[in-house]
Amino acid sequence: MPTAMRRIDQIVREHRFFAGLTDADVDLISGCARNVAFAAGDYLCREGQPADRFFLLRHGRVALEIAAPGHGALTFQTLAEGEIVGVSWLVAPYRWQHDARALEPTRAIAMDAKCLRGKCDADHDLGYEMMQRFVPLLVQRLHATVLQALDIYGDAHKS
C-alpha cells in the first residue's frame, strides 16, 4: 500500500505516543484521528478558540506562541516530531491558551478531542492508558517551565 494511502490506524499505531496500546484500543482511538498537514506559517490553533483537537506531530516543527503588546509573538516552546501540541483539550473549558504555528511544513495526526474524551469516559481503562501517556508529558512541561521561569542564565559561569 503506498504511503500516502496508509490507513489512519496504522499511522496512529506507529506514533511513539501510542506505543504499547492494544490493537483494540488503537482501533477505538483511530476513529477520532485524522491525518493533517500544515504549511510553514500556518496556525494549528489560536488562543481563545475551542480546544477541540490536539496534534501528534509526525514531521516538522511547531512553535507555541503568546502575543504580547509591543513585543510581538513570544515563543515559549518549540515542539518536534513525536511530540504533542495541545493539552487544553483535557480540562474544561477546553479553550486554547496560546497559538501554535508551524515553523516548517508539518504533518500531524489531529485527534478529535470531544470524540476521544467520550471514548475515555465510556472506557476508563482506555482513559487510564491515555492519562498514563499525558501525565508524564505534563510533568515534563511543568519542570521545563520552572527552569525557564528561573531565568538561570543571568549568572556567569567562571566569572
Partner 1 sequence: MNPPADADVSPAVLTVDGFQCLIDELQRRGYRVIGPTVADGAIVYDDLASVDALPRGVGDAQDAGRYRLTRRDDEALFGYAVGPHSWKRFLNPPRLKLWSSRREGDGVRVEPAPEPRQPLAFIGVRGCELRAIAIQDRVFLGGRYVDRPYDVRRRGAFIVAVSCGTAGGTCFCTSMGSGPRAQGDFDLALTEIVDAGEHHFVVEVGSDAGREIMAQLPSRDATSADCRQAERIVAATAASMGRSLPAEGVRELLLDNLDHPRWDQVAERCLSCANCTMVCPTCFCSSVEDSSDLASEETARERRWDSCFTTDFAYLHGGSVRATTRARYRQWMTHKLATWIDQFGSSGCVGCGRCITWCPVGIDITEEVRAIAAAPARTGGSDHADGHAQD
Partner 2 sequence: MPMSDPMLPQVVRVLRRRRELPEVWTLEIEPASDAAADAPNFEPGQFNMLTAFGVGEVPISYSGDPQRSQRWVHTIRAVGAVSTALTRLRAGDVLGVRGPFGSAWPLAAAEGRDVLVVAGGLGLAPLRPAIYRLLAQRRRYGRVTLLYGTRSPDDILFRRELERWRRRLDVDVQVTVDHAVGDWHGHVGVVPALIARADFDPARTSALVCGPEVMMRFTLAALRTAGVAETAIHLSMERNMKCAVGLCGHCQFGPTLVCRDGAVYRSDLLAPYLPIREL
**For binding to partner 2 (CB under 8 A), which residues are involved?**
63-64, 71-78, 80, 82, 103, 140, 143-144, 147-148, 150-159
Find how far residue 58's CA is from the centre of its chain.
Answer: 11
Q: Residue 11 is placed in which grid cell?
A: 499511522
The Cα–Cα gap between 73 and 140 comes to 24
Kindly tell me which of 107 and 117 has the beta carbon lying closer to partner 2.
107
Query: Which strands form 84-85's sheet, in the order they lie side by side?
Result: 33-38, 106-112, 53-59, 84-85
Rank residues 71 and 158 by Cβ distance to partner 1 and give the closer one: 158
Site for partner 1 in 129-158 (CB under 8 A): 155-156
Does 1 help bind partner 1 (rule: CB under 8 A)?
no
CB 44 within 8 Å of CB 1 = no
Which among partner 1, partner 2, none contacts residue 147 (Cβ within 5 to 8 A by kind)? partner 2
71 binds, among partner 2, partner 1, none (CB under 5 to 8 A by kind): partner 2
Q: At what angle do helices 113-122 and 124-150 cross, to 10 degrees?
A: 130
The nearest distance, CB 13 to partner 2, in angstroms, is: 21
Q: Please state, in angstroms and rounded to a whole number, the distance separating the CA atoms of residues 132 and 42.
A: 30
Name the minimum Å distance from CB 49 to partner 1: 35
User: Which residues contact partner 1 by CB under 8 A?
Assistant: 155-156, 159
